[in-house]
Structure 1
């Protein structure tokens, strides 16, 4: 089994800092996407929890597409919210995106090292990629 790393050269975080991890790692049909925040071009996009949730999830979907995975390949999502009051709004966005085939999920409340409201990571599986 081989391991393929996407973005191993490191992305750009807030303030232009180099990030020391891969955007995603693929092994044996599994794709693990690193936690994504509502960032574009290394800067947090301002907005409420709905806008930030959409962008964080979209950033995951963009990385998945780069690696050749689709929405239906998502088996698990981890979510970190910075305030428990965001839970219902996040769930609305999550439902809009994943529809009638939601993946397994964990959601917790914690401080983030980036000044935003949400971070999302996904785990995908596609047997055809084994």
Structure 2
């Protein structure tokens, strides 16, 4: 089985020793995405809602580069700072995912890297 790396300039470049995503055995594995603006870096200064939109948008951009739209996402894991943000995350997630309803886990966390409030990763299935 081969592993292929996915790279797109529509999402932040990895800041460490990892790929934005990899493809293996017909699945797309997206690394954790923080609310980072390409060319600017992490945006922990933004509201929770804007951070959620950025992180989910980065995840979707990477999946799109691999040829995988929201309807092909099998699993999403979200880490959020503050369980009280769960309803706000859920509303933004539903807005951005549309009719797609992959399996999902939301994990409240005490803190995330760079002081960010949201991080998401995903597993998608390639078409065909």
Question: TM-score, normalization: structure 2?
Answer: 0.86
- 1:49 CA drift (Å): 1.1
Alignment correspondent of 1:11: 13
Structure 1 distance, partners of 2:115, 2:3, is 32
Structure 2 distance, partners of 1:55, 1:113, is 15
Q: Residue by residue, what CA displacement relative to the aligned partner does 1:63-87 show, whole Å, maximum 9, x if unpaired?
A: 1111111111111100000111110
Dislocated runs of 4+, deviation >4 Å: none
* Paired positions, count: 121
Question: TM-score, normalization: structure 1?
Answer: 0.85
Q: Does the 8 Å CA contact 2:68/2:127 hold for their aligned counterparts?
A: no
Alignment correspondent of 1:43: 41
Q: Superposition pairs for residues 28-107 of structure 1, below 5 Å?
A: 28-40=25-37, 41=39, 43-45=41-43, 46-107=45-106
What stretches of structure 1 of length at least 5 have no aligned partner? 14-18
- 1:11 CA drift (Å): 3.0
